[in-house]
């Protein structure tokens, strides 16, 4: 009972509003400069991305001539891996050069 009587005046008080100076809510010129710099950087990034995207081909599928050349240059044994001399990767467990260690 004593604690309720002691706490009751504290609960009835309104807290003080936070201190706000005369410049509260106003923006500074530094914020404007930072925002403009970010806008300029964004414009340059978009222009650069558009230049790079124009260089990308519309399709990544090979032309029919290239496809025929790739099929004729493929390994004669179906499912066989091309050797490193033919542009294939070496098998796991073998070194890139086939010379014996000295």
Sign of the CA dihedral running 65, 69, 97, 91 = positive
Three-state SS for the chain is: CHHHHHHHHHHCCCCCCCCCCCCCCCCCHHHHHHHHHHHHHHHHHHHHHHHHHHHCCCCCCCCHHHHHHHHHCCCCCCCCCCCHHHCCCCCCCCCCCCCCCC
Residue 43 lies in a domain: yes
Angle, alpha carbons 68-69-70 (nearest 5°): 90
Number of domains into which the chain is organized: 1
pLDDT score at 5? 62
> If you count them, how many residues does the chain have?
102
Do 96 and 84 form a contact (C-beta atoms < 8 A)?
Answer: yes
pLDDT in tens, 38-96: 999 999 999 999 999 999 988 888 777 877 777 776 655 555 665 666 665 665 665 55
Q: Is residue 38 part of a domain?
A: yes
pLDDT of residue 69: 77
Q: Domain for residue 62, yes or no?
A: no
Does any domain span residue 85? Answer: no
The reply to whether 47 falls in a domain is yes
Structural domain includes residue 45: yes
In a domain, 12, yes or no: no
Range of the domain at 34: 28-53
Is 39 a member of any domain? yes
């Amino acid at each position: 009972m004593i604690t309720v009587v002691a706490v009751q005046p504290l609960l009835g008080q309104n807290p003080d509003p936070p201190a706000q100076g005369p410049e509260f809510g106003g923006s500074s010129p530094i914020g404007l400069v930072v925002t403009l710099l970010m806008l300029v950087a964004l414009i340059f990034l978009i222009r650069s991305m558009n230049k790079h995207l124009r260089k990308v081909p519309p399709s990544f599928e090979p032309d029919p001539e290239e496809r025929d050349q790739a099929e004729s240059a493929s390994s004669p044994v179906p499912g066989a891996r091309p050797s490193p001399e033919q542009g294939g990767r070496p098998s796991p467990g073998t070194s890139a050069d086939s010379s014996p260690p000295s």
